[in-house]
Structure 1
């Protein structure tokens, strides 16, 4: 498992693009950006603005990296871990879904949603 306790400065605009990218981060498949929702966003998980409002940047980062540490039964993918995964597409086998920089960028953008 990758240790992810740091919360370095990320790029807000790259994070915004990554949240919207349904081919890589997949955030909007399960989350809406706000509690008001959006018909093109998911409703299986809490709104992203609520997460940024209640969690510090390091805590948010750790949950995105591998939510299984906080809830072993989560359906959220571990974006910075490959431990215990099965049925992974060959292109992703043995590598995390996000880089450390992408994770920093996501956290930077999500932090703007609570303001």
Structure 2
């Protein structure tokens, strides 16, 4: 079991991630919608998704850079993914005018989410 040192998170990005802000973003069903597809535990939860892999133990499977890259734009790894590209607007269509040309997450929010996911080693 490993948790990522803060130094690794800073090296992956210009911003240090905040675990508590990241936890809140992952749980936020109005902005990130992470729990629409993912469950936090391997056993799942009736109020969480089962479309994508559970987030339990994610810190043992992916390092901070890999997580960051996948959240930013999973299409780089799987062009057929249904996961939204949270830091890219390239190739998107049918985007609401208020969101046109704007990524869904800021760099800081992405760093916060990565910091939180880095605590999920079990």
TM norm. shorter chain > 0.5: yes
Matched, 1:6 2:6: no
Greater Rg by CA:
2
Asked whether 1:46 is paired with 2:27, we answer no
In the TM superposition, what is the alpha-carbon distance from 1:26 to its structure 2 partner? 0.6
Larger deviation: 5-14 or 77-86? 5-14
Q: Match for residue 83 of structure 1? A: 90
Q: Give secondary structure in 2 for the equivalent of 1:42.
A: coil
Unaligned runs of 5+ in 1: none
SS, match of residue 49 in structure 1:
coil
Residue of structure 2 in register with 1:108 after alignment: 115
TM-score (norm 2): 0.86
Aligned to 1:61: 68
Aligned partners of 1:83 and 1:6: how far apart in 2? Answer: 22
Question: How many aligned residue pairs are there?
Answer: 111
**1:36 has 2:43 as partner:** yes
Deviation (angstroms), 1:53: 2.0
- Structure 2 residues without counterparts, runs of 5 or longer: 1-10
* 1:94 aligned partner: 101
TM-score, normalisation: structure 1: 0.91
1:6 shift after superposition: 2.8
How far is 1:33 from its partner? 0.5
Q: Distance in 2 between the 1:65 and 1:102 partners?
A: 11
Two-structure CA RMSD over aligned residues (Å): 1.4
In structure 1, what is the equivalent of residue 5 of structure 2? none
2:29 matched to which residue of 1?
22
